[in-house]
Structure 1
Amino acid sequence: MGLMHYFQFAVVFLFGLWYSLWVILHLFLSFIKGPITFVTNFFKKRDVMPPCLNDPDLGSHDFVHLEDVRLHYVAKGDEKKPLMLLVHGFPEFWYSWRYQLREFSSEYRVVAIDQRGYGDSGKPSGVKNYSTEKLTGDIKQLIPALGYSRCVLVGHDWGGAVAWHFAMRHPEMVEKLIVLNCPHPATFASYMRKNREQFKKSWYMMFFQVPILPEIAFWSNDFQFLERALIGKNGGVKSDKTTAADMEAYKYCFSSKGAVTNPLNYYRAAFRYPLAKKDIRLIEKPTMIIWGCPDMALNKELVPLAGKFVPDLTIQYIEDASHWIQQDKPNEVNKFIWEFLNK
């Protein structure tokens, strides 16, 4: 890291410490209100897999061994059909693509992965194992391991960031690119520095740079952080598409050892090992952004900024969808994807 980057990281870390004070206060008040419940929920175990995760209608489960990690995935559709690769975000796992696994398997071999550190995939320790280089390297190895040379690449949130990077580095392996609620990586940092609203929305990214405390906050009150993010009234799914059973599946996913720290390491690695200017390249493959509005984490104004780096760009907005767009409004999302694929 250069001197300027050390300074920027130090500033981010200081903001993370500031936000930590508010999180500590919130945790303390929760403990005071019900200490026994607080402790019981903190150590609650989930050893039985929810039935929805074994639904055969979603596809078959399998694993692929890459150079330094084993990835779990769920696949549906004929292996002779083209590959559609689905890459989830934070805090999610393969199950967030349940509506797309069913929808597109008629024409594609649809594969939804657990990214490294998530779900049933391998969980290597250390922040550096979750750098952009590692994440895009997994996709590069995965595609031929599945028997393909290219794919329709679909990413949401952090999966969108991985998809952006991968399309820049390995365009020959991308047929078309579809990104859901994730800005182009070359635009976000500068926009956040200039826009106060986006800076406030990004508080959690800075908070996640602090050790240990984000994990404690995530686990506390029976994964209240997770529940508020996914179905909370201040930014969660706006429809009834995420049920109590679905929510239990998410909690089960993040209950295992390392299942919280490693996803948080995505954010820690992003600030420690940022994108270099030399890695920014035009994406000349047909690309579509689908954006749910309003997004509790990302401003809508970020979307058109990608046009500077993507000549062949289609943008679709869903005004009444949340950040979790492919789960919140699957019919609308699937319709836009079909139109884009058939164009």
Structure 2
Amino acid sequence: MGFLSNIVQVVTTWVIASFYGSLVLFYVVLRIIRRGPRAFFGYKVRQGRPKCLDDPEQGTHGYVRLKSSGLRFHYVAAGERDKPLMLCLHGFPECWYSWRHQLKEFRNSYRVVAPDLRGYGETESPQPFGYWGWPNFSVSHLTNDVQELIEALGYSSCTLVAHDWGGIIAWLFAVDHPDLVDKLIVMNAPHPGTFMKYMRTHFSQFRRSWYVFFYQLPWLPENMVKAFDFQLIYGAFKGKGMGCKRRDAVTEEDLEAFKYTFARPGVNISAAINYYRAMLKQPPRSYKGTKVTCPTLMIWGDQDAALEVGLTEGTDKFVPDFTLKMVPGASHWVQQDQPEVVNGIMRDWLKA
């Protein structure tokens, strides 16, 4: 029965992915007709680093090599080494730089460390590269990276702060390694136990999650990320629907920093997309009876165009010590859109 259900899941996923892929191809053809093939394929490789990535006010850059995978992880750290660890996990399409406001804010109380996740930025990506490398981005690999990263940084536990894809990793890490998480702060990332049930019963969320299925296709998603000189990244942060609601929340230089993550020489764009591929290609996990035992704060921008506010409902069933704080008028990129509000919420909750 389990084998049959897996076959049905695979076939269903590919049918939906192909449907969205055909829509995207139609959109691409129209854009090529209007702007020309040179515009579509005319992305540029960024040879020079944006200066904001090396701003000493953000912190200092460092590298550690993890034991089991052998991958070299890049991170930026602010605060003294004798302070407790605050580990910040970013989402897609981001990098460590999405935590620039929190690195400055909490450096006096914590050793704040924002790594590039596996395959992002200056952190190495496992081989094989490309579509067929998706098994190396399973949740078990990603949570193991966090475990080894905490150890490599010289700590036995941390306050774990996460957003978007980092939030998915953080939820599962807190379930599987309760002894390593003192406190958990998750931003605009639903608990996995609520996400699939909500999407099955709310077609509006299913439509918003179209990209999860689209990313299951080979080749096309990678080219869409690069198309029109990484227009996807511009749209994510500054577009009318998905983008930050504050115009100055992400500057042109900030935007170049995120583009550089995917456009620097030798980068493996497939790595970031393989997170989504591995998520749907592996058997679903049951969360019945699982609990996050540490105190947990969820911060949610209520103008998130990708994830509905309703996804926050029912989280307390999995988290006994749970606090939910809405940020009115904030987008999906809540910690960048309204950093002062988010930092204030974090600061008050951590003190309490």
Structure 2 unmatched runs, 5+: 128-132
Query: What is residue 106 of structure 2 aligned with on the other side?
Result: 104
Letter in 1 for 2:5: M
Note if contact 1:253-1:259 (Cα within 8 Å) is conserved in structure 2.
Answer: no
- Give the TM-score normalised by structure 1: 0.97
Deviations 1:60-87 (A, max 9, x none): 1011100212111000000000000000
Q: Say which is worse superposed, 62-71 or 107-116, in terms of deviation.
A: 62-71
Question: Deviation string for 1:36-93 (max 9, x for gaps)?
Answer: 5415623x22110010000011001011100212111000000000000000011110
Aligned to 2:130: none
Task: Work out which of the residue numbers 137, 140, 154 in structure 2 matches 1:133.
Answer: 140
User: 2:39 is matched with which residue?
Assistant: 38
Q: For residues 85 and 39 of structure 1, what CA distance do their matches in structure 2 show?
A: 38
Residue equivalent to 2:171: 164
Match of 2:149 in 1: 142
Distance of aligned partners of 1:288 and 1:274 in 2 relative to their CA distance in 1, 3 Å threshold? farther
Q: Partner residue of 1:291?
A: 300
Deviations 1:154-183 (A, max 9, x none): 010000000000000000010100000000
- Partners of 1:179 and 1:22 in 2: CA distance: 33
Shift of 1:207: 0.4
Identity %: 45
Matched residue type, 1:249? A
Please say which of residues 269-278 and 210-219 is displaced more in the overlay: 269-278
CA–CA distance in 2 between the matches of 1:241 and 1:294?
Answer: 15
Q: 1:339/1:252 Cα in 2 relative to 1: closer, same or farther (>3 Å)? A: same
| Secondary structure in 2 matching 1:47 | coil
Residue 72 and residue 217 in structure 1: after superposition, are their counterparts in 2 closer, same or farther (change >3 A)? same
Unaligned residue ranges in structure 1 (runs of 5+): none
Question: 1:9 Cα shift?
Answer: 2.7
Shift of 1:275: 4.3
Contact conserved, 2:121 with 2:267, CA < 8 A, in 1? no
Residue deviations 1:11-43 (CA, integer Å, cap 9, x gap): 12211111111111111112112225415623x
Q: Aligned partner of 2:80: which letter?
A: D
Alignment of 1:254-269 (within 5 A): 254-256=262-264, 257-269=266-278
Q: Aligned equivalents of 1:195 and 1:59: distance in 2?
A: 42
User: Which residue in the other structure is 1:226 paired with?
Assistant: 233
Partner of 2:158: 151
3-state SS in 2 of match to 1:182: coil
CA distance in 2, matches of 1:13, 1:200: 16
Q: Which moved more, 1:188-197 or 1:102-111?
A: 188-197
Structure 2 Cα separation of the partners of residues 79 and 178 of structure 1: 21
Query: For 1:85, what is the secondary structure of its paired residue?
Result: strand
The one of 251, 254, 261 equivalent to 1:243 is 251
Would you identify which runs of 4 or more consecutive aligned residues in structure 1 move more than 6 Å? none
**Alignment-derived partner of residue 212 in structure 1:** 219
Aligned partners of 2:143 and 2:169 also within 8 Å? yes
Distance 2:186 2:4 in 1: 33
| Matching of residues 172-183 of structure 1 within 5 Å | 172-183=179-190
Contact in 2 for aligned 1:119/1:259 (Cα 8 Å): no
Partner residue of 1:252? 260
Contact 2:40/2:229 (8 A) holds in 1: no
Show the counterpart of 1:73.
75
> Aligned partners of 1:273 and 1:301: how far apart in 2?
26
